[in-house]
Amino acid sequence: MLTEIKNKINQGQSKRAVTREYGFHEETLRKRLKAGNVPQSLGRFTKYCIPICRENETQPPFNKTTKLAGKKWVKLFCKIAYQFAEKMKLSHRLTKATKLAGKKWVKLFCKGQGLAIRQPEKVSTARARGFNGVQVNRFFDNLNTCLEKSLFNATTIYNMDETGLLTVPNKIPKVVSTKGKKSVSKIVSAERGQLITAVCCVNAAGFYIPAALIYPNIFSSLLSQIRNSQHCLYCLPAIEFCRERESMASSSPQPAPSGTTNNEPFNTSPEA
């Protein structure tokens, strides 16, 4: 870089313009030009924990574990980094008492290797097992079968999903309080709250049906049978419901109950 800067100065470019282009102070440039060289040492930070040429050896195992839910933790990451440095007999400054790499090193490593520290979302073992490439492909095969049997347009294809809502928010916004006060609280309707089921439905054309909120112990017996069934589309009330309205239904892979695994696709319900 110093040779390149010298060439620009010899071509008539000012030192101030060069420093603005490269983003450092003008006095630093004058000092290096006077010395004639750039020091290669970085002081106490000369020795890296894991050299850049070795970092690529630790990347593949972590990339493979990202595809498995729940198999990648920051603590495990730090532990493997320390073990790798010890096995390769690399000079490092990692804490030997904890035998872990620091969080700052992990952030720098992730930044250089295209990784990121993210907050995972909760998922059950059954859902993680059921939502895979094979099951998703089966769902789209079932969907293609429905489209081949009946010529549906965008306004007649609806996608429905349900989610759980709590009457009390999980996170409460921060408030300004007096310093030293031990208890800071906010009044809510209940400490724990109740779980309410919200059902949303939208079609391929962008039209949606207003969300339906199902409160505990209030919905009808028909909805109770459909909602509490192990396989929603296989229960008799759901099949009769589709037949009466001359509709077809196809479901994506659902989590199997505890102790069982669902390997069969959810076929379309019988036509009317």
pLDDT at 144: 85
Give how far Cα 19 sits from Cα of 30, 81, 269, Å: 10, 38, 71
Mark 1-19 as b/e (b = at least 16 C-beta within 10 Å).
eeeebeeeeeeeeeeeebb
What is the structure's pLDDT at 47?
A: 47
Question: What was the pLDDT predicted at 37?
Answer: 62
User: Torsion angle, CA of 59/64/66/69, rounded to 10 degrees?
Assistant: -150
Residue 165 has what pLDDT?
A: 84
* Helices and strands (DSSP H and E) totals, the chain: 10, 3
- What is the reported pLDDT for 235? 65
pLDDT of residue 254: 55
Local confidence pLDDT in tens for the 272 residues of the chain: 777 888 888 888 888 888 888 887 888 878 877 776 655 554 544 445 555 555 555 555 555 555 544 445 677 778 888 888 888 887 777 778 888 888 787 787 777 777 777 777 777 776 666 667 787 888 888 888 888 887 788 888 888 888 888 887 777 777 777 777 777 777 776 667 788 888 889 988 889 888 888 887 765 554 555 555 444 555 677 777 777 877 777 666 554 443 333 333 333 333 33
Cβ neighbourhood burial of 101 (10 Å; 0-12, 13-18, 19+): buried
- Residue-wise pLDDT for 140-168, tens only, equals 888 888 888 877 888 888 888 888 888 87
Q: Confirm if 207 and 156 have CB atoms less than 8 A apart.
A: no
Please give the pLDDT value at position 138.
84
CA separation for the pair 33, 31 (Å, rounded): 6
pLDDT score at 229: 46
